[in-house]
Each structure stands twice: as structure tokens, then as C-alpha cells.
Structure 1
Amino acid sequence: MSKSDKAPYVGIVGLGYVGLPLAREFAEGGANVLGFDVNQQSVERINAGSSPLKHIPNEQVAGMVDTGRFEGTTDMSRLNEPDCLLICVPTPLTENREPDMTYVENTCRTIAENMRKGQLIVLESTTYPGTTRELMLPILEHGSGLTAGEDFFLAYSPEREDPGNKSFRTGTIPKVVGGLNKPSLKMAEQIYSWAIEQLVPVESCEVAEAAKIIENTYRCINIAMVNELKMLFDRMGIDVWSVINAAKTKPFGFQAFYPGPGLGGHCIPIDPFYLTWRARQYGLPTKFIELAGEINTSMPEYVIHRTMEALNSHKKAINGAKILVLGLAYKKDIDDVRESPSLELIERLRDKGAKVSYNDPYIPETWKQRKYDLRMKSKKITANMLKGFDAVLIATDHSHYDYQMITDNAQLVIDTRNACDRLRGTKKKVWKA
């Protein structure tokens, strides 16, 4: 669909890993953007032209501010100003692994108190099928006194962010869009055309919601399979990475997935549980998906077990051992720690009496989160400091690391990412986990 003649005024609620890249695309596409966030410090930083995210350069944020096409605010009374409001807030899990829709519900209530006729409301946060119609619509209608599909418009368009991916950016990733009705879909397409190169319109909000869930459930299941095979092949004396590298030479019928210390990021560790929760409401247990979740969530414990075995081979106990964890981010070359297995690894190591430090070139210190409050600062890596640790645990394979120098000076390396596979002189020193 071609752009409308008049540039839209776009409101984005939540200026984090989803909202800020989206704001950049709209501003660079010629639209005007009003960004909302509850974090005053973050808003002030963005308005000053500084990026809070590593993979969004400062010059891009400064560019959209300097052109006058972007403004950030914490004033929610201004929600009635934009033509549309794109909701990019967290959708985490509760301790019982059920959807925590608090952020979405509270955001919808705030919007309902301030919205006006003619606005389009779009949820981008990952969620279960039925959220837009069954959860959001009643809150918005009740709080505003307006009728969805007539007085205001409603749609769902799942984010497809992949921080650190140099091959794609928000604007070049095809975007699925589903509307409450045809006018809602049409308006959503017109507005997103200012930021996204290719739109994929679907017949309903539910189809769009389910599409996002299936994308990440697919990855979750396949990662669980290779994680299980990693444990099996290790018992058999076979290197799972060698097996995968051999298998992926087949030009059809196989897609390579790789094992790790656990799942991280906002999507893959969480989305499948949204679907299993929803399935139970329909009386259909999703055993396959739940099993994959169990395998993936068990991987940190497996890494701890391998660490204990490695230390034991050096006649050392984990209780009192000095261990350096390399990498807090959930994947390489980013500063995102959401659901990172490194956080659980550190906590489990501490519980067993280990003295744990960490290094991450992108995360100078930890901060209080929903589940963790590690209160740690990144340690600078030197040859001498490495020699002072009983073991180095590679949890995130940042490109920044000099793995040869690390393995040369470390007493013992536990490698969860196959980062040391091609290094010289590491056979006796490196344990894969």
C-alpha cells in the first residue's frame, strides 16, 4: 500500500527495545513521532539525542530529535494528540508461568482516559491469540465511552525485533498486521507504510497474534531438541556442534539450530508459555510445547553440573571456587539481559558457594530486575586476573572477547557456546557445557 498524502502523527507507548527502533523508522520515513514512557531519565536521555540501546547509535537518535520529528514525554495527558498509538510494553510471565498482562491493561486504561475519536490503537507486544479483542477492546470502550471499529480503530501488529542483527532492521522486516475490522486494518496499513517496506495484512487480530506465537514456538521447540541432543551426545562422547555442522551441509530439509546455556530474550523463553496457557482454556494441553519449555529451562542446571564436573577434574570443589562468568547479555554483541540465562547461572553458582564475578563489555553493572538483583560490576579482563580464577564460564560469546588470550591464561574454561572450538592448545583446558 502506498503512503497517504499527509504524514501521520504517531504515538509510541514504551521507548525500549521495540518502541525506540520503531520511532526511528517512522521519523526517518517522514512521520512525526511522540514517544511516551514512564521512565523520566530515559525520556530525557533520548530527547538529548543519546541512545539507551547499544544497537541504536546515538547519531540516529540525535538525528530524529534534531529534525524535529521526534519528541519524548512522560505526560500521558498528551495521548490524545497523535493519530495513532502503538503500544510497545512488556508482556512477561508470572512466577507460575502464566501471562502477566499488567502492563498492557494499565496502558489501555491510561489510553482510555485520554483518547479521542478517530484514533487508531495498535498492540505490538507479543501475547496470546484473543488479547486485542477480548482484553483490550472492553477496557478501551468502557474507559472512553467510544465504540471500537466506529469511533476509534483497533489492530494488532507483532514486533519482530532482533537486536544485533546486521542483516535486517525494523523497517526492512516484513510486518504482519491484523485489524479488528476492515477500516481498522486499512488505517493501520496506511500508517505503517511510512515506516515499513513490506506489510503483510491478515484477516484478523487473532491471526496476527497467533503468527507471532508460532514463530517463536518453532524456535523454542527446535532449540530444545538440540539442547537435549547436546546432553545425549555428550554422554556418548560426540560433539553436538560437529554433528550440526555436518548436518547443515544438506541443502534442503534441515535448518541448523544451536544449543546453549538456556534461552534468553523477551520472546522465545516466554511466548510458548502464553500459548500453552491459552490452550488450557480450550481444554487442549500442548504437551509437545510444554516439554520443549521444560528442556530449555533445565539447561542452566546442566551447565552447573558440567561446571562441577570440570572443577572436580582439577581436584576443586564448587563451594569456594572463584568463577568468572563471561557475558550477561542473552546473546552476543548486544546489551540486552532480558531473561538471560547468565543471571540464573550466577545465582545458582552463588547458591552452591562459588565466588562469582562477571565481565560484559556492554553491561558495566547490573540493576534490580523483576527476578534478580545481583548488585555486581563488570570486571576488566587481564591475563593476571584470569589466572586468579578457578574457572571461566563462557555464557555469551561476544565477538569482543579474545578467546585465545582467555584460554591461554585461564586455569579452566567451561564453554557453553562453542567459542573455543578452533583455538590452539585448549583440549585439556576447555570443557563444553
Structure 2
Amino acid sequence: MPADLAVLGLGRLGLPAARAAAAAGIRTIGYDPDEHAVRELGAGRPPAGGGLSAAEVRKMASAGFRATSDPSVLGRVRTALICAPTPQGEGRAPDLGAVRAAALTLGERLRPRTTVVVESAVHPGGTEEYVAPLLEKASGLRAGHDFHLACAPSRLDPGNRSHGYTNTPRVIGGLTPACTEAAAAFYGRLVEKVVRARGLREAETAAVLETNFRHVNIALVNEMAVLCHDLGVDLWDVIRCAETKPFGFHAFRPGPGVGGHGVPVDPACLDRAGRTPGYPLRLVEVAQEANARMPRYVAQRAATLLNEHGKSARGARVLLLGVTYKPDLADRTGSPAPEIALRLMEMGAQIGYHDPHVPQWRVAGRPVPRADSLHEAAAAADLTLLLQHHRVYDLQSLSAKAQLLLDTRGASPTGAAHRL
């Protein structure tokens, strides 16, 4: 039986979209050229980085979802979502190689009146200037005339227990008003609220603003963390007080660095042909610099703390707790942990780690010993360094066991540890 929807790319964007569609009763197929990932899904096992559990994958299958690496199925759907990954490439611009491959594969089989939506992170203008010509050349059809084309940037927040796929409003912008309405009608079956942008560029740029807002504000509190430490001020109490203001303030918290898939974007850096008008987003550039300094700062704080307690970083046993980019997830994309570990290694420290979600870990090609017994390892280490606060970490108990505990997340009780 032909499917109503094809999801191209079965990673962290595509699988949640396919899951939401299957749950809504939409006949859905997932296409991915990675045959291993397709086999894993067929066996009921989620591929790494997909953000779903095995139980969720099996539930999708029972709802009719199937994965394939056969592109011929793409010619029999009414709607197609391009969910290919766009990792950071040269010059901090997104690498659109996978998007190009998906667009060409779909274009060769595209039928008139199909609705195509780009969920992949593309720069402002990317859907119209990059994706549309690929689809048109491969299909011989005209975007906005023979088929609908829209952009609906992902707003996934992995691990968020309050806001998931369904109850997060979805921003949609189309090449034409009819394209917007076609995409809105589709997403109206998946989410509680659809927000119509004026066009493709507005939807794409909204995603840029959202990502940059996060990075700029994290950079501010990261710099405040350094300042407050130098002044002898408790930053965490400062934030606690400031967030009681009911207007004009939104609380962000510092950390050892900024990870995740959403990287700060300066649109002036993205168009290599030089067509992007206007000035660069200087704040974004400064924020990136500030956030990039944090792993070095944390390593230096660790060395200073050891020195203050009569120990040298050289030869010190340092236990890193939590090496993922986000609590209670296995995803290590952009995590500051490798850089912190490498800097401490270069100082001569002996590094070990504990993370319930990461059974094996390598830094600069070298395996890092994993602690089997958390409390025993903390007691044996000269310094325990909390990089990610997973729920399993009882910091009150750990602070009693550890010789020294440096908490970069402000998660420990006041006075129980040294905090960033």
C-alpha cells in the first residue's frame, strides 16, 4: 500500500517526525541511504543519535512505519520531509551535502502536487536558492507551480519532558502562500499549533534567531561566571535572585561549554558567493569566542583547585562525571568534555570518567578508563569534576565521598562543592 508520507533521513530529525506521523495515523515510510541504519530499524533497534528508544521504534512499526534504502518508494507519496543532517562544515557554515543528496534522490521521483518540506537546518535563502533548483533540475517540475515547497525548521529539544514534538508550535514558511497552506495542513495533523511565517526566509531566519539567542545568553552567563569567581561572588545565588524578576529577564546558566547540534550562525558568513547583504552579527561571533573559552577555563580552574589543596595537576587523578552534551542523554555531539579531558591530560593528569550513558569513551584516539563504582572512584580521585548532571548523580553523597568536587553545573547543594 503506498504511503502518504516519506521522511528522508532517519536521524535525530527524521525519526521523531516519522514517529509523530505514525502516531497520527499517517502511513509513513522512512528513507535513508544508510543500509545499516535501515536494518537496525527493521530489527526494532534505534540507530545511534536517533533519540528514540527500542520500544518507541517497535511502536512505530506496529503503526505501519517502515524504513527502506530503496528510493523508488519516494515516487508514491503525497508529502516528503527532507530531514537530512547538516553538520557544521568549513567556516562554521552548515554542510549541505546530505541535503543535496536527499533533494536529488527525491527530485528524480517527484510527482506533481507533492508537498516537499525542508526540516534540515539551512541558512536563510537555502530552501529557495539551494534546495529548489536541485528538485527542479532532477524532476523537470517547477517549485510553487507544479509542487509545493516549504520550510519547517526543527524545534526538537531532546530530553525535554515538558515540550515534545506535538505541543511545540511549528513555524512554517512556503515559497508561495499556497505552499505555506499545504505544509500547514500537513503539520496541523501532527502538532497542536502551526505558526505561519511570511515566507521561506522568515521561517529559516527564525531558526537562526532561536539558536543565536541561546548561544549569546549562555555566553553572557559564562562570562559572568568568570567575573563572579574573580570577585568572590556566588553566581548561582545571583541567578536565583535575578530570575525572580517577572519581566525583562530570562534565566540561563553557565557550564563548561556549549554542545548540541544547533551551532551559532552568522548569516554573513554563510554565502560564499558574497550575496548576503548587511553586517555580520558581531554579538554571535563574540558569543562563540566566549563559549569556546570555557573548556580551557574549566581545566585551569581544576588545576588551580588542586594546587590550592597542595596537589599538582601533573600526576593527579581526575574523575570526569558526565561526558554527554545534555543530561540523561547519550548524545555527545559538541560536548566540551573531550577538550577538557585533553587539556588536563596535557597538564599530566590521569583521567578517568563515569557516565551511565557512555559505556566507552576515547579522547584524541586514546581510550579513557571508565569507573565501574562511582563512589569508590570519587573517593580515590584527587579531583572529581562534574561536567554533566545526570539524574543518577547524588551530589550530596558524592561530595561526602570525593576528596575535591568541582561542579560546573551549579547542581550541588550550597557549600557541598566548589562551583563554577
Flag whether TM exceeds 0.5 (same fold): yes
**Structure 1 alignment gaps of length 5 or more:** 1-6
Per-residue deviation, 1:298? 1.0
Per-residue deviation, 1:97? 2.0
Aligned residues, how many?
416
2:265 corresponds to which residue?
Answer: 272
Per-residue deviation, 1:172? 1.1
Query: d(CA) in 2 for partners of 1:43 and 1:8?
Result: 17
Is 1:65 aligned to residue 52 of structure 2?
no
Which residues of 2 match residues 13-412 of structure 1 at below 5 A? 13-52=8-47, 56-67=52-63, 69-267=64-262, 270-274=263-267, 276-277=269-270, 281-366=276-361, 375-376=367-368, 378-412=370-404
Query: d(CA) in 2 for partners of 1:124 and 1:366?
Result: 31
Query: d(CA) in 2 for partners of 1:348 and 1:80?
Result: 51
Bigger CA drift: 359-368 or 81-90? 359-368
TM-superposition CA deviations, 1:37-82 (whole Å, max 9, x none): 2333332232233344696343332122113x20011223322232
In structure 2, relative to structure 1, the CA distance for the partners of 1:363 and 1:40 (3 Å cut) is farther
Determine helix, strand or coil for the equivalent of 2:134.
Answer: helix
In structure 2, relative to structure 1, the CA distance for the partners of 1:51 and 1:92 (3 Å cut) is closer
Per-residue deviation, 1:365? 2.3
Query: d(CA) in 2 for partners of 1:366 and 1:39?
Result: 24
Determine helix, strand or coil for the equivalent of 2:156.
Answer: coil
Query: d(CA) in 2 for partners of 1:401 and 1:327?
Result: 9
Determine helix, strand or coil for the equivalent of 1:285.
Answer: coil
Is 1:431 aligned to residue 418 of structure 2?
yes
2:320–2:354 Cα contact (<8 Å) kept? yes
Instruction: Let me know the Cα RMSD of the aligned residues.
Output: 2.3
Determine helix, strand or coil for the equivalent of 2:153.
Answer: coil
TM-score normalised by L of structure 2:
0.92
- Work out the percentage of aligned pairs sharing the same amino acid: 37
User: What letter corresponds to residue 23 of structure 1 in structure 2?
Assistant: A
Is 1:11 aligned to residue 6 of structure 2?
yes
Bigger CA drift: 94-103 or 151-160? 94-103
Is 1:419 aligned to residue 414 of structure 2?
no
Bigger CA drift: 33-42 or 46-55? 46-55
In structure 2, relative to structure 1, the CA distance for the partners of 1:42 and 1:297 (3 Å cut) is same
Determine helix, strand or coil for the equivalent of 1:272.
Answer: coil
Determine helix, strand or coil for the equivalent of 1:90.
Answer: coil
1:77–1:114 Cα contact (<8 Å) kept? yes
In structure 2, relative to structure 1, the CA distance for the partners of 1:126 and 1:420 (3 Å cut) is same
Per-residue deviation, 1:302? 0.8
